[in-house]
Amino acid sequence: MVDLTKRRFLKHGLCGLSVYGTGAVWSNALLGGCSNQQSNVLLDADENDVRLPAGFRSRIIARSSEPVISGQGYLWHAAPDGGACFSREDGGWIYVSNSEVQPNGGAGALVFNANGEVTDAYPILENTRRNCAGGATPWGSWLSCEEVDDGLVWECYLDGQTPAVVRPALGVFNHEAVVFDVEHNHLYLTEDKPDGCLYRFTADSPGSDGFPDLAAGRLEVAVRAAGQETLNWSVVPDPQASLQATRYQVASALTFDGGEGVAYFDGRIIFTSKGDNRVWSYNTTSRVLEIVYDAADYLTPVLTGVDNVTVSQAGDIYVAEDGGDLQVVVLDNQGGLYPIVQLEGHDQSEIAGVAFSPDGKRLYFSSQRGITGRSENGVTYEITGF
């Protein structure tokens, strides 16, 4: 494991970074995070088992094993995990969510109109394995990652009609999440293993739409030679892992203890490692890797069980807990650290799928296994406060 100066990224803040992402209105509503800690005290749980700051409210939008739309045959999937939102031309949006079960995993979509009403629901991927997290692409598809040793990445399309396409060029390994670097046209991928790696994919050529064609390209793994301050990248000789797991093919590859969620914000790749409860930042231009947060630095850490992650327009990092206190915790751009969501009575579950609506006013997430701790009892929530 690379040893780095801790929290340097938060110390200097994110204020100099340009706006990319959603959720700026949340930063305003929370009154600057740690600059006014009183505003971030969580109230008692509401009727949906959710603790929130004053002025915020929760809504259950889907339950596993139940129809999302009354009278519709489609049932919301078990074990809802990683998710993302996509805008629609009519002013509405689509929230997609993975199903982390094996076999018969996949991903589903919830369609919202401009008023925030759920108008449709359907699968966009079926009969795959342990679809954990993934990532949205700028060209409007969802990359769903299989969290198994021979896992693949599936490119899913939001219309519910176009079949998903497997993308083996992105490597065969225990995939967790993926994100697209819009500046350099790279994909970055995390691996959920105690000795997992950070990967980078570069397509060989653009497709007809001008975006990278994921059918073929170069898979690399992050490495760091002794004494260097920056990361380098080495080609993975056999991305299909036909003879040896990808993480063992380059001897100098950096390892991360359980790579989890990953997000992109203005030239930085933000990702988490659950085994050591760290949040990382990689600058894609300078190639400097820094530790944003390390639970080991605190006697009583607010954030543990780091998992899915998203970043707001203001640069605040929202981290979902798998374990810990079952919270969504904010690492804000003032250096603050505080929870903004907590579930009560869901002790055998985890929070997953954190994502903002395109206008930044709604936050989505799931309790993967609900109050029973069973995959078929997951619950998907929407949080608003305006």
Note the pLDDT tens digit of each residue in 151-201.
999 999 999 999 999 999 999 999 999 999 999 999 999 999 999 999 999
Note the pLDDT tens digit of each residue in 45-78.
999 999 999 999 999 999 999 999 999 999 999 9
- Domain borders along the chain are 8-384
pLDDT of res. 333: 84
Note the pLDDT tens digit of each residue in 11-30.
323 222 222 344 555 655 55
Burial class of residue 314, CB neighbours in 10 A (0-12, 13-18, 19+): buried
pLDDT of res. 238: 98
Name the CATH topology of 8-384. Neuraminidase (2.120.10)
Cα–Cα distance between 171 and 261 in angstroms, integer?
17
Greatest mean pLDDT among 1-10, 223-232, 352-361: 352-361
Instruction: Write down the pTM of the prediction.
Output: 0.91
Is the model more confident about 266 or about 228? 266
Mean pLDDT to the nearest integer, 281-302: 95
Mean pLDDT to the nearest integer, 326-338: 92
pLDDT of res. 21: 41
pLDDT of res. 193: 98
Residue 301: partners with Cβ closer than 8 Å, 6 or more residues away: 277, 295
Is the model more confident about 358 or about 38? 358
Residue of 73, 78, 124, 127 lying closest to 99 (CA atoms): 78
> How would you list the strands of the sheet with 363-367, edge to edge?
57-63, 379-384, 363-367, 351-356
Cα–Cα distance between 273 and 282 in angstroms, integer?
13
Mean pLDDT to the nearest integer, 248-252: 96
| CA geometry: angle 313, 316, 320, nearest 5 deg | 115
| CA geometry: angle 269, 352, 373, nearest 5 deg | 150
Residue burial 134-160, b: 16+ Cβ < 10 Å; e: rest: bbbbeeebbbbbbbbeebbbbbbbbeb
Q: Answer whether residue 356 shows pLDDT above 90.
A: yes
Q: Answer whether residue 214 shows pLDDT above 80.
A: yes
Cα–Cα distance between 330 and 57 in angstroms, integer?
18
Mean pLDDT to the nearest integer, 320-334: 94
Tell me whether the omega of the peptide bond preceding residue 103 falls within 30 degrees of 0, making it cis. yes
**C-beta of residue 233 within 8 angstroms of C-beta of residue 200:** yes
**C-beta of residue 125 within 8 angstroms of C-beta of residue 131:** yes
Residue of 194, 198, 154, 147 lying closest to 173 (CA atoms): 147
pLDDT of res. 108: 98
| 335 band by pLDDT with thresholds 50, 70 and 90 | confident
φ and ψ of 93, to 5 deg: -155, 170
pLDDT of res. 246: 98
pLDDT of res. 32: 39
Q: Answer whether residue 260 shows pLDDT above 70.
A: yes
| 31 band by pLDDT with thresholds 50, 70 and 90 | very low
